């Protein structure tokens, strides 16, 4: 059976996706697919998903599935949003209110 593999890696501040197809035996598991790529399935922080839904190493793949392998996040998304708001001078950050209330100004 053929499945698509999408590897998402970080190159600097950018995320880069590379997609390819591989041939596996029928009823292959996610672990067997990762091993076929030459990667360690128990690699720390490796994110596995099938069509953007979290997958376990024991999940069985079907023909035509898309297995996605992603590296761990470099920065927590909430922290990145806060830092971006500080840099840009976001009104919501400066006033400490969801709607910019005047009574809750930042000190």
pLDDT lower than 50: segments of the chain = none
Same domain, yes or no, for 62 and 82? no
| Domain tally, the chain | 2
Strand locations in 12-63 (E): 14-23, 47-50, 53-54
Same domain, yes or no, for 58 and 16? yes
Position 88 scores a pLDDT of: 80
Same domain, yes or no, for 63 and 98? no
Please give the helix or strand (H or E) that residue 35 lies within, else none.
helix 30-36
Same domain, yes or no, for 65 and 86? no
Position 51 scores a pLDDT of: 93
Measured CA to CA, the distance from residue 89 to residue 103 in angstroms comes to: 19
Rounded percentage of the chain residues whose pLDDT exceeds 90 = 41
pTM over 0.75: no
Measured CA to CA, the distance from residue 46 to residue 102 in angstroms comes to: 45
* Residue 91: burial class (beta carbons within 10 Å; 0-12, 13-18, 19+): exposed
- State which residues form the domain around 53: 2-70
Same domain, yes or no, for 80 and 98? yes
Same domain, yes or no, for 94 and 64? no
Position 58 scores a pLDDT of: 92
Same domain, yes or no, for 22 and 58? yes
């Amino acid at each position: 059976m053929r499945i698509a593999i999408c590897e998402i890696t970080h190159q600097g501040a950018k995320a880069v996706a590379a997609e390819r197809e591989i041939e596996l035996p029928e009823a292959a598991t996610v672990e067997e697919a990762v091993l076929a790529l030459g990667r360690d399935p128990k690699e720390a922080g490796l994110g596995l998903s099938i069509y953007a839904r979290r997958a376990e190493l024991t999940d069985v793949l079907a023909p035509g599935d898309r297995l996605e392998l992603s590296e761990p996040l470099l920065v927590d998304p909430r922290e990145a949003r806060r830092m971006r708001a500080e840099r840009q001078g976001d009104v919501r950050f400066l006033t400490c209110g969801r709607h910019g209330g005047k009574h809750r100004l930042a000190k």
